[in-house]
Structure 1
Amino acid sequence: MRTVGVEEELLLVDGESGEPKALSQAVLAMAAHDRPRDDAFEPELHRQQLEFATSPQEEMSALAQEILRWREAAAQHAKTLGGAIAALATSPLPVNPTLGNGPRYQWLEEQFGLTTQEQLTCGCHVHVCVDSDEEGVAVLNRIRPWLAVLLALSANSPFWQGKDTDYHSYRNRVWGRWPSAGPVELFDDAAAYHEQTRAMVATGALLDKGMVYFDARLSDTYPTVEVRISDVCLEPSGTLLIALLVRGLVETAAREWRAGTAPVPHSVALLRLASWRAARSGLAEDLVHPLRMEPTPAATVVEALFDHVRPALEDTGDLDMARALLDRLLRDGNGAAFQRSVYERGGSLREVVEECVRRTARGV
């Protein structure tokens, strides 16, 4: 069974005002003191955000427990410092982000200017193990059409600098300002993939391979495919669903590769349009069908994804769990829908943040 690991970026906010608060250094210091052998928490580009990474897990119940464990630990540390954590992909309230320390972040600010300053966004990255780079690239080629559906499911960033953006995932639009972000073309093999990333770094526009911000890529650290398109999900159950679907996509793609099934040859231009539609509409309107590339009701597209990965989910014993989590999400809506419902009831973005803080560490 393929192992799965999750990286989540969380927003640090003031416990009273709900405004983003630069607490990451203090939280990291507290975490290191309390659990010196645990290194789950990491700094991020801005001090108003915090990242944690789970260990690789085969069993999804264990992954769910670890996601909740680190969210709860982050919440406790932040509370001690007068703050809170919110699994929000962008801040609903206005913010002037504070850049983190270190030469890497300084280089980014010098090279990319306002783009760096504006990147206070929180995503969810899912790592699934692969047997080799060849298998990994074969997987990347075959999951491309389905990634936009993951974005629609996870969309959790309707507000930006105090305004409703009319998007469900405005984070995706902000993240796309990096020159290396987004979908990519098909690769003939692993050698072609590595040559492409090498050439990108050689332009001098990227600091290193860590800045190859493809929607899905080979990890430069682990023997995994890393799917990076999703917003951070409001509740742990949403994160678990995305992890289930990503493992299903990776396994399905690997099986197709071994069976000699060619990848769908969509152009990057079409994939970009599909991602834009997912970011704009979430689950509220039509999406672009991953295979036909035409407007299709969101529920139909989501079911197409589920049917695509069904055999893989059955083989890992995860089908019932994935079905239940997906049905719940389709019934209740994604994080963007929840945020807007709170705002429409009370008319306060501060209340939106408060409600999201409450939901961030809910049980699965």
Structure 2
Amino acid sequence: MTGVRLTVGVEEEFLLLDAEKSQAAPAVDAVLAEVPDDLRGQVTREYLTSQIEINSPPGLDLRALRHSLGMLRSGIAGAAGRAGARVAAIGCCPVTGPEPPVVDEPRFHRMVERYGALSPGPGLNGLHVHIGVPDPDTGVQVLNHLRPWLPLLHAATTNSPFAEGRDSGYASWRSVMWARWPSVGPTPFLESHDHYEDLVSRLVASGAMLDEAMLYWYARLSARYPTVELRLGDVCPSLDDTILVAALARALVGTVLADIEAGRPAPRIDQPLLSAAHWRAAHDGLAGLLDDPADQRSRPAWHLFQRLFDTVRPELERNGDLELALPLMGRLRSRGTGASRQRAVYARTGDMGAVLDLVTIA
């Protein structure tokens, strides 16, 4: 795979809000009815009626991805406006209100019956990035190599500090709530693709998952596409943040593919240490300390995130993404994560409505 540009695609989940009130709205069917015809194949329901999802087509050009996501974000925002709602790019709803029902689909009803109230509130909204890989066996090796780096991307996407009208103490409260599902967590170290398949089968047999699609590891092989899927972060508040994460994710996969071809082994980090690193990422975001992928010692998060950028910089340049990623990295550094931005608005206004205004897509 050396020298080959990898495809990248993105899924983003959003919260639907009442147009007038600062609370979630069970409006997905009304919004979908207003989505322009040329976008409908890329806009779908999610688990709850107060959520909506967009899916970009996979491609090689990051600028084309940005254009596609921009059109989709604008399209669902316009559709929501026509349906008496609005769209918020936030990990979970920061205020209380009536709990919207689950989307009326058999699979979702089975999930409620089996797992109960594991996702209370109006929904947990994430970001999923798909990176193309040549085959499942290589994909499993990529998953092993990615493990120590993923807490840094997790920290960069934190965008849900508030819950029930107050600060949760976490940069990503969504991550805390999401971790209640039995199949959520860091990807284990995998011996082979057969090992991966065996674990999936045994998890389904145990009742922890209904099917392979409920494998909610922070990185997995996609059940639908020939990709590695990173699914560890909150939906980002701005398109700038999403594109930066997508660029870094593709460059990181390209970097570890070179390591695999060179015969460099993946580091075997103990699962409890990875769980602790992801907990810290959810708690602090990029505003505190994180565990160094090299030696698992705590260091300033921004120092480690910059090291990630420097590590994948040759791949960013080879992909033609460096010119775009450099200013996006600077903006994230100057503005902070979505969690930091939300807290700054609340500190200034004391108004949770102003927080929701901040993350509402125009």
Counterpart for residue 158 of structure 1: 161
Change over 3 Å in CA distance of 1:38–1:81 after alignment to 2: closer
Within the candidate set 20, 37, 46, 2:24 is matched to 20
Counterpart for residue 15 of structure 2: 11
- Deviation of 1:131 after TM superposition, in Å, equals 0.4
SS at match of 2:41: coil
Letter aligned with residue 262 of structure 2: A
Tell whether 2:80 aligns with 1:94: no
Counterpart for residue 332 of structure 1: 335
Q: Deviations over 1:5-31 (max 9, x none)?
A: 000001100111121101111112232
SS at match of 2:34: helix
Counterpart for residue 232 of structure 2: 229
Counterpart for residue 137 of structure 1: 140
Cα contact 2:92–2:122 (8 A) shared by 1: no
SS at match of 1:296: strand
Counterpart for residue 72 of structure 1: 74
CA RMSD in angstroms comes to: 1.3
SS at match of 1:342: helix
Q: Deviations over 1:324-348 (max 9, x none)?
A: 1111101111101111111111101
Counterpart for residue 60 of structure 1: 62
Q: Which runs of 5+ in 1 are unaligned?
A: none
- Deviation of 1:204 after TM superposition, in Å, equals 2.5
Cα contact 1:119–1:175 (8 A) shared by 2: no
Q: Percent identity?
A: 38
Q: Deviations over 1:164-206 (max 9, x none)?
A: 1011011111111110001022111111111111111121231
Q: Residues of 2 paired with 1:191 and 1:276: CA distance?
A: 29
SS at match of 2:118: helix
SS at match of 2:149: helix
Q: Residues of 2 paired with 1:205 and 1:132: CA distance?
A: 27
Q: Residues of 2 paired with 1:319 and 1:230: CA distance?
A: 22
- Deviation of 1:355 after TM superposition, in Å, equals 2.1
Tell whether 2:245 aligns with 1:239: no
Counterpart for residue 260 of structure 1: 263
Cα contact 1:99–1:117 (8 A) shared by 2: no
Q: Deviations over 1:196-252 (max 9, x none)?
A: 111111212311000010000000100000000011000000000010011011111
Counterpart for residue 40 of structure 1: 42
SS at match of 1:246: helix
TM-score norm. by structure 2 comes to: 0.96
Within the candidate set 304, 311, 315, 1:308 is matched to 311
SS at match of 1:73: helix
Q: Residues of 1 paired with 2:117 and 2:324: CA distance?
A: 42
SS at match of 1:145: coil
Counterpart for residue 189 of structure 1: 192
Q: How does 1:118-133 map to 2 (within 5 A)?
A: 118=121, 120-133=123-136
Cα contact 2:93–2:121 (8 A) shared by 1: no
Letter aligned with residue 197 of structure 1: V
Q: Residues of 2 paired with 1:93 and 1:57: CA distance?
A: 37
Cα contact 1:4–1:247 (8 A) shared by 2: yes
Tell whether 2:108 aligns with 1:105: yes
Letter aligned with residue 57 of structure 1: G
Name which of structure 1's ranges 112-121 and 215-224 shifts more when overlaid on structure 2: 112-121
Change over 3 Å in CA distance of 1:111–1:18 after alignment to 2: same
Cα contact 2:51–2:122 (8 A) shared by 1: no
Q: Which runs of 5+ in 2 are unaligned?
A: none
Q: Residues of 2 paired with 1:58 and 1:2: CA distance?
A: 6
Counterpart for residue 351 of structure 1: 354
Name which of structure 1's ranges 96-105 and 177-186 shifts more when overlaid on structure 2: 96-105
Q: Residues of 2 paired with 1:237 and 1:203: CA distance?
A: 40
Cα contact 2:183–2:208 (8 A) shared by 1: no
Runs of 4+ in 1 over 6 A off after TM superposition: none
Cα contact 1:97–1:117 (8 A) shared by 2: no
Letter aligned with residue 4 of structure 1: V
- Deviation of 1:321 after TM superposition, in Å, equals 1.7
Q: Deviations over 1:150-173 (max 9, x none)?
A: 111111000112121011011111
Q: Residues of 2 paired with 1:297 and 1:203: CA distance?
A: 40
- Deviation of 1:37 after TM superposition, in Å, equals 7.3
- Deviation of 1:84 after TM superposition, in Å, equals 0.6
Tell whether 2:216 aligns with 1:216: no
SS at match of 1:85: strand
Name which of structure 1's ranges 105-114 and 263-272 shifts more when overlaid on structure 2: 105-114
Cα contact 2:134–2:226 (8 A) shared by 1: yes
Name which of structure 1's ranges 183-192 and 129-138 shifts more when overlaid on structure 2: 183-192
**Number of residues paired by the alignment?**
357
